[in-house]
Amino acid sequence: MAAARGFFARAWLTAALAVLAAIPAAAIEASNRYRSPRNPERKIRQSTELIVLHTTEAAARGSLAKVSERGECHFLVTEEGIVYRIVDRDREAFHAGRSMWNGKEDVDKFSIGIECVGYHDQEMPLAQLHAIRDLVKELKKMYHLSDDKVVTHSQVAYGAPNKWQKKKHRGRKRCGMLFAMPSVRRVLELSARAPSDPDTRAKRLVVGDDYLAKVLYGNVDTMKGAYGKVEAKVAAPPPAPKAAVKAAPKTVAKTAPQPSKPFRRIPVTIEDLKAQGYTMKGAVSKNITAAQIAGGKWNSATTYYTIRNKVIPGNMINPAKIEVGMCIWMK
């Protein structure tokens, strides 16, 4: 009898280990500080066909409190590049609202929602875009999704009929609109986007916002001025060898355009700061202010504040939120 129990125990353990081995590793580094109390009650999602990018249209603190309380997304990414886990990635999060994609309504049932602190028509810090890029890359790998399956909320949302628009119409909210723009998608390392709206093409919905449709599927890219420069820096050729410059005619050397300096990644960790030559100049205390430590550069883009493993550029720091214990890093 004991031998039989031992056999079944070993068989159960072997089966359990096989199941665990089949589950993808949780390679996503995210804080659980704002994990939603709604998480346990949410259903396990049956399929994952899309990653939906949102913009909060509000500041981080209020957005974190709201999405956490209601379980309105799977992840939230702050301007500093911090990723918060709100609802487990394999559960349903109520992020898409009234929605449709390719004839299927209730996009929550087959998508992952990522809220990004910011606004649909304003540029975001590169530290934030790099964090979104890395998060999306991991999720694409886990769920075997192609680049065109990364969409914006404005691509799946549609409004109810109202006194101005009697028909159902697509993308009444412009939430996440900038994530469809080619310059932003290149920073996110997404090489493709959905070529057209499958639901307006099939006449299930109508276009209610002509400008939005041009952004989502046309050539309107209001972020090109901001991120086109970043692309140029990334793609810049290396400087020519000194010997080649000497051999070139003087007239060519004077008129030839100089290659751009390679793009420097904005530090998002203390290790990044140290690697880029930053040193800690001091810590804010009751008796020592940030201005006393950093002088006139306390709010400069080349000054960084760190606390609780967060790295905040000086030009993004809210003076009211400079707290005791914040360390200031400068070159």
Q: What is the pLDDT of residues 216-229, one digit of tens each?
A: 999 999 999 989 76
Same domain as 274, residue 221: no
Choosing from 227, 256, 287, the residue where a domain stops is 227
Confidence of residue 255 (pLDDT cuts 50, 70, 90): very low
pTM here is: 0.65
Choosing from 207, 227, 247, the residue where a domain stops is 227
Question: Is 115 inside any structural domain?
Answer: yes
Same domain as 292, residue 154: no
Choosing from 227, 255, 278, the residue where a domain stops is 227
The whole-number pLDDT of residue 26 equals: 47
Same domain as 298, residue 221: no
* Range ranked top by mean pLDDT from 208-217, 259-268, 311-320: 208-217
- The pair phi, psi for residue 136, each rounded to 5°, is -60, -40
Same domain as 163, residue 94: yes
Question: Is 10 inside any structural domain?
Answer: no
Question: Is 76 inside any structural domain?
Answer: yes
The whole-number pLDDT of residue 256 equals: 43
Q: Which of 276, 286, 260 lies closest to 313, judged by CA?
A: 276
Same domain as 274, residue 207: no
- Asked if 76 and 63 count as a contact pair (C-beta separation under 8 A), the reply is yes
Number of domains in the chain: 2
What CATH number is attached to the domain comprising 122? 3.40.80.10
Question: Is 39 inside any structural domain?
Answer: yes
Instruction: Provide the 10 A C-beta neighbour count for residue 66.
Output: 15
DSSP string, 159-217: EPP-SS--S-EE-SS-TTGGGGSHHHHHHTT-----SS-HHHHTTSSEES-HHHHHHHH
Q: Which of 122, 139, 119, 233 lies closest to 186, judged by CA?
A: 233
Domain that holds residue 291: 270-330
Question: Is 318 inside any structural domain?
Answer: yes
Say which amino acid occupies 174: R
Q: Is the pLDDT confidence value at 296 over 80?
A: yes
Q: Give the integer Cα–Cα distance in Å for 50 and 156.
A: 10
Same domain as 276, residue 213: no
Same domain as 49, residue 169: yes
Question: Is 151 inside any structural domain?
Answer: yes
Same domain as 181, residue 65: yes
Question: Is 177 inside any structural domain?
Answer: yes
Same domain as 287, residue 167: no
98: Cβ contacts below 8 Å, ≥ 6 apart: 157, 158, 159, 160
255: Cβ contacts below 8 Å, ≥ 6 apart: none
- The mean predicted confidence, pLDDT, of the chain is 84
Same domain as 64, residue 156: yes
Per-residue model confidence as pLDDT tens digits over 4-61: 555 445 555 444 444 333 344 345 889 999 999 999 999 999 999 999 999 999 999 9
Per-residue model confidence as pLDDT tens digits over 91-149: 999 999 999 999 999 999 999 999 999 999 999 999 999 999 999 999 999 999 999 99
Same domain as 86, residue 160: yes
Average pLDDT over every residue of 72-86 = 96
Residue 209 C-beta-side C-alpha neighbours within 13 Å: 20
Question: Is 264 inside any structural domain?
Answer: no
The whole-number pLDDT of residue 17 equals: 41
Q: Is the pLDDT confidence value at 68 over 80?
A: yes
Same domain as 152, residue 44: yes
The whole-number pLDDT of residue 167 equals: 77
